[in-house]
Amino acid sequence: MTPQANPITLVDSHCHLDKLDLTPYNGELAGALDAARDAGVRQFLAIATDITDAPAIVEISRAHSDVVYAIGVHPLRTRDEEASLEALREAVDTFEPVAVGEIGLDYMAPEGKAPGVPVDVQRERFERHLAVAREAELPVIIHTRGAKEDTLTLLEKYVDPAVGGVLHCFTDDLDMARRAIRLGFYISLSGIVTFNQADNVRELARQLPLDRLLIETDSPYLAPVPHRGTSNEPRHVVEVARMIAEVRGISMDEVAMQTSANFYHLFRHAVPQMPEDVQSRLGHINHTMSA
């Protein structure tokens, strides 16, 4: 793969690389990653939804220098036994992720389409993860649906604003986003921003400070327009950047550059893996803190 003379610099800040449909690439993850690199994606953050998934994610990262990873137990992940504080600490110490996640609260799981995890179990699980992340001084990656006040209350209780985190695949209201930003958080937008009925998410893309936005695919889920109905993959993050640029009336390159700078500002442990040409392109961006 030959880099473009002036390549766009995109980061897929949330993708499930161990769950991609690799049929178009003869079952090879390298093919999907190369397709994304050809589209301008220079960094991938692979997300484990359980600490038992961590070894596979770590192996992917070892094989691909532009992949970093986060580990945590998803709020809807069913388990025979909850991971204790000690087990979570050990996982963080052993695997050395750049963040803890995805974790959080989900009170809107569609009946029959997602496993049921009782709210009290979700809350206890969430608090254990937040406590471990704070001890390790790692940012957190938050999944939240229908749990605005509970989520914000726990973030305020546990998260150091100097470390912060991200509300991933965000679709809630502007008030929640602004309150999270004041707690040191970023807001990540996914392919939902391209959906026909997602005017509220496009309004978020228009109003939120650009220096507090991240972009993601959440692949293999939530493929953006014009790929709806197919399995999502990291190369499609370009469509998220394109829509944000359109609604803000700015260049796609500006969106790509700022959201990439935001990524490295938040996930500081990913900085050593930043390609040199990306460092050069991002070097002139002054990252400011917005409220």
Task: Point out the annotated binding site for a divalent metal cation.
Answer: 14, 16, 102, 143, 168, 218
Strand partners of residue 70: 47, 99
Residue 209 CB neighbour total at 10 angstroms: 17
Beta carbons within 10 angstroms of residue 234's beta carbon:
29
Pair of tokens at residue 25: 């690439």
Phi, psi (rounded to 5 degrees) for 126: -60, -45
- Pairing label, strands 140-145, 67-71: unpaired
Strand partners, 104: 143
Using CA atoms, how far apart are residues 106 and 124, in angstroms rounded to an integer? 13
Binding-site annotation: residue ranges: 14, 16, 102, 143, 168, 218
